[in-house]
Chain A
Amino acid sequence: MKLRYLLPLALFVLLASFLAAGLKLNPREVPSPLIGKPAPAFALPRLDDAAQTMRRDDLLGKVWVLNVWASWCAPCREEHPHIVALARSQPAPVIGLNYKDQRDAAQTWLARLGNPYAASVSDADGRVAIDFGVYGVPETFVIDKKGVIRFKHTGPVTADIVEKRIKPLLKELDV
C-alpha cells in the first residue's frame, strides 16, 4: 500500500479528533467581562405583584442565583427541572429575571410547570438584561454577598452544571 493513498485518511482522522474535542467544548461558554464585577443595579416590578419593586441592593448580604427566563423560550422549559432541583436542594434564593415576556403568559407558565423562584422580576423591555450582558435566554448568574457576579452560564443549565459548577460555588461562597 502506497503511503500517499493513506494521506486523506490520516488528514480525516486528525480532523475528526478536533471535531470530537470540539464537541466537548461549549461555544456558548463565552467568558463574560462581568465576572468579578458588581452586578448591575436594577429596580424592577415583581412578576407576581407589579406594585412591589425589587432592587439589587435588597439582596446584598445574600448569595443568590439569577436565572433569565421567558415563557416563550423552549430551552427554558428544558432547563426548568434543573432550576427547580437547584432551588430545592440548597438555601440560596433563585431570582428569576423574566425577559421580554407577558405577565399573564409568564404566570401561567410558572403555575403549570412549578415555580422555583424565590421571586421573579419582570424585565419587559429587556433593559436590565442588556446591563447583564444577556445575549440569549436562558442565562444563569451566581452573585455573592457583596453583589459581585461570580459565575455565568449561557444557554440551558444541565444537571452536570448544577451539580459540578453552581452548587460547589454556592457552598464555597458560604451560604
Chain B
Amino acid sequence: MIAEMGQLALLLALGVALVQGSVPIVGAARNRAAWMSLARPAAQTQCLLVVLSFACLTASFVQNDFSVLYVAQNSNSALPLAYRVAAVWGGHEGSLLLWILMLSGWTVAVANFSRHLPAPFIARILGVMGWISVGFLLFTLITSNPFERLLPAAADGRDLNPLLQDPGMVIHPPMLYMGYVGFSVAFAFAIAALIGGNLDATWARWTRPWTTAAWCFLTIGIALGSWWAYYELGWGGWWFWDPVENSSFMPWLVGTALIHSLAVTEKRGAFKAWTVLLAIMAFSLSLLGTFLVRSGVLTSVHAFATDPRRGLFILALLVVAIGGSLALYAWRAPKVGVGSRFELVSRESMLLGNNVMLVVAMGTVLLGTLYPLVLDALGLGKISVGPPYFDNVFVPIMTPIIFLMGVAPLARWRETALPDLARRLRWAAGLTVIAALLTGWLAGRISPLATLGFGMAWWIVFSLATDLLERLRPAEGRSVGARVRMVPRAMVGMMVAHLGIATFAFGVSMVNTFGIERDLKMKPGDRTEMAGYVFTYRGVRDVQGPNYIAAQGLVEVTRDGRAVATMKPEKRVYRVQQNPMTEAAIDTGFTRDLYVSLGEAVEGGAWIVRVYFKPFVVWIWGGCVLMALGGALAASDRRYRGARREATTGAGMARATAGAS
C-alpha cells in the first residue's frame, strides 16, 4: 500500500512538473502575470509530492517490505537500521529518486529565496527546472521504477552491497548529487537569461551564490568519495581515475571555471557568452556523468550500478537537454554584447587564461574517460587508459593554473603593469623556492616532482600572504583592525579556498613522494619497521558482526618503544552476498596516517598484510574541506543579500514613482 502511494505521488509530481515547465514559460512569453505566478506554487507542490514519494520508499525499507523488488534487491532484515535508510539510494532506482528529490529541493530553494527577481525571469528559471524534473521523472517511471512489486514477496532481501555499508558511503551520494543537481540552478539561470535576453552583470550576481553553493556540495561529495575509496577499498589509494570518479571531477573543473568567469561577468560585464556556455557545460557534464554511471557504456569498479537498457533513455534525455541548450546558445549568444574591454595583461585575461586551462583539464579527463569507448566504437579494440595517462597530462596543465592563481588576485582589472606585478610578487617567488626546497630536505629527499608540488603549495600561500598584506597595510590613517573589517567576506572566501588548494597540493606531493607501501607475508610475532614505526603482527581471530563474519587481525604499533596504536584490520564476509570485504585499520594523525589492511590468508597461519605509511594524507581531504568552506563564505557574502535589499527598495521606489506620476 505504501509503495503504491509512493508511486502515485511520483506520477502526480510528473503532472505538476509538466505544468511547472510549460505554463510559466508561456506566461513569460505572453506577459501574463497569473500564468507566471503559477511557477512558485507548482515548484512547492512538486517538491511535497517527491518528498512524500521518497518517504514511502524509505518506509518500505525501514519496514523490510520485501514485496517491493527494489527493497528485496538492496536490503536485508539483518541490515542495521541506519543502513536500511541509506540503502534507499544504494541502487539505481533509489539514486534516481534521490536525484529528483534534490532537484525539487533546489527548485523550491530558488522559488523561495529569489523573491526579488523579476517575475518573467523567475518564471523561466522554474520552468526550465520543471523540464529537467519531467525528464528525470519520466526516466524513473518508465525504466527504473523503485516501487515495482515482487510477487510473491521474497523471504529476505539480497542485502545492500557490502561496499556501501559504511558511514562515508551513507552521505557521499547525497552530497555529490547536491552538487550535480545544484548546477541545474546555474543552468536554469543561463537558459532563462538566453530566452529572455537579459544576460548582464545583474544576472551574474544572481547566479553566483547558487553556483558557489552547488560547487561546495560537489567538492565535499568528491572528497567523501575519495576518502571512502581510501579506507574502504583497502589499497590505500585516494584517487583512481575511475570513470565514475572522473564523471564527478569534470563538472567540478567546469564549475570552478564558471565561478571565476561569473566573477568577471559581474564585475566587468565581460565573457558573457563564455560564462553562459560554462553554465551549460557544468550541468551537461553532470548529466553526462549520470549517463556514464548509469548506462553501462564504461566498465568501472563502480559497475554495480550499470544497466545497458536504460542507456538509450538517458542518451535521449542528454541529446534533448544538452543539444537543445547548445542550439539555443548558438542562436542567442551572438546577440549578447561583448562587455567592457580589457588589456592583455589584466585580471580579466588571467582569469580567462585559468578558465581555458580548467576547461582543457576537463577535456583531457573527458578524453581519457571516453577514449576507450571511442576506440571500441571505431572497432579498434578494447583498451583501458589508466592513471599513467592522467598523471602525465595533469601535472603540466595544473602548473600554469596554480601559477596564475597566485598572480591573478593581485592584478588589477582592465589593465595591469607586468613590471609592477613582478615587483610586488618578488618576495613571494623567492620564499616559494626556498620553502619548497626546504620542505623536501626536511622530508628527507629532494625530488623534482615533489619540489614542483611543494612549490605550487607554497606559491599559493606566499602570494596570498602578499595580497593580504597589501590589503591590510595601514593607509589613509585607518587602523589595521578597520582594514581587516573592510575585506569583504567573498574575498576571505576566495583566500580560504585557495589555501585549500595549497593544502591539497601539499598533501598529494607528500603522499606520492614520501609514502611507503609494503605488502608482507606475516606470521604471528613478525614485525616490520617503516619511518620509525615498528609494526608487530599478533595474529588473526574470528569475530561476528550483525550481518557478516570477519577475520580480525591485530597489529601493534610502537615508536621508540612506546605504544602508538593497536590496529585491527578486518576481512569481512557478508552473509548474504558472500563477497569478501576489506576493512582497513587506519591510525589518522595530523602529519601521517598508519594504514594496515589484511590481504589473503596463506599457508601456515600466515597472512599477507599490507602496511602503509602515508604522510600528510589527511591534508588532501582537509584541503577539500577548506575549499568548500571558502565557497560557503563567498556564497554567504552580504553583497548578495544586500543586492536583494537594494532590489526591493528599487522596486519600492519604482512603485512610488509610478504612484506619484
A residues in contact (CB < 8 Å) with B: 1-2, 5-6, 8-9, 12-13, 15-16, 18-23, 25-28, 30-31, 72, 74, 100
Contact = CB atoms under 8 A, between A and B. Distances in A.
Q: Which 10 A-B pairs have the closest CB atoms?
A: A21-B377, A9-B326, A22-B297, A27-B299, A22-B373, A5-B330, A23-B311, A6-B330, A2-B334, A8-B326
A82 B376 CA distance: 28
Interface of B: 73, 158, 273, 277, 280-281, 284, 291, 295-299, 308, 311-312, 315, 318-319, 322-323, 326-327, 329-331, 333-334, 370, 373-374, 376-377, 382, 576-578
Contact of A25 (B73, B312, B377): B377
B308 A23 contact: yes
Given A12-B323, A74-B73, A100-B578, A20 B315 contact: yes
Contacts of A26: 308
Contact of B373 (A2, A18, A74): A18
A26 B298 CA distance: 9
Contacts of B277: 8
Contact of B330 (A8, A27, A74): A8
Contacts of B280: 8
Contacts of B374: 18, 22
A29 B393 CA distance: 29
Nearest to A8: B326
Nearest to A31: B382
Q: Which of B295, B297, B299, B322 has the most chain A CB within a 10 Å cutoff?
A: B297
A5 B329 contact: yes
Contacts of A72: 158, 576-578
Contacts of A18: 370, 373-374, 377
B573 to A, nearest CB: 10
A25 B374 CA distance: 11
Contacts of A12: 284, 322-323, 326
A72 to B, nearest CB: 6
B297 A27 contact: yes
A157 to B, nearest CB: 13
Contacts of B322: 12, 16
A14 to B, nearest CB: 10
Contact of A9 (B312, B329, B576, B578): B329
Nearest to A7: B330
A28 B315 contact: no
Contacts of A31: 382
Contacts of B298: 22, 27
A22 B73 CA distance: 28
Q: Which of B296, B299, B308 has the most chain A CB within a 10 Å cutoff?
A: B308
Given A25-B297, A72-B578, 15 more contacts: A6-B330, A8-B280, A9-B326, A16-B315, A16-B322, A18-B370, A18-B373, A19-B318, A22-B298, A22-B374, A22-B377, A23-B311, A25-B376, A30-B382, A31-B382
Q: Which of A16, A27, A74 has the most chain B CB within a 10 Å cutoff?
A: A27
Contacts of B281: 8
Nearest to B319: A16
Given A20-B315, A25-B377, A27-B297, A13 B330 contact: no
Given A74-B73, A74-B158, A100-B578, A19 B297 contact: yes
20 contacts: A2-B334, A5-B330, A5-B333, A6-B330, A8-B277, A9-B323, A12-B323, A13-B323, A16-B322, A16-B323, A18-B370, A21-B377, A22-B377, A23-B315, A25-B297, A25-B377, A27-B298, A27-B376, A28-B299, A72-B577
A72 B297 CA distance: 25
B12 to A, nearest CB: 30
Contacts of B315: 16, 19-20, 23
A52 B280 CA distance: 64
Q: Which of A9, A26, A30 has the most chain B CB within a 10 Å cutoff?
A: A9
B331 A1 contact: yes
B333 A9 contact: no
Contacts of A5: 273, 329-330, 333-334
A28 B334 CA distance: 45
Contact of A8 (B299, B329, B334, B578): B329
Contacts of B158: 72, 74
A64 B136 CA distance: 44
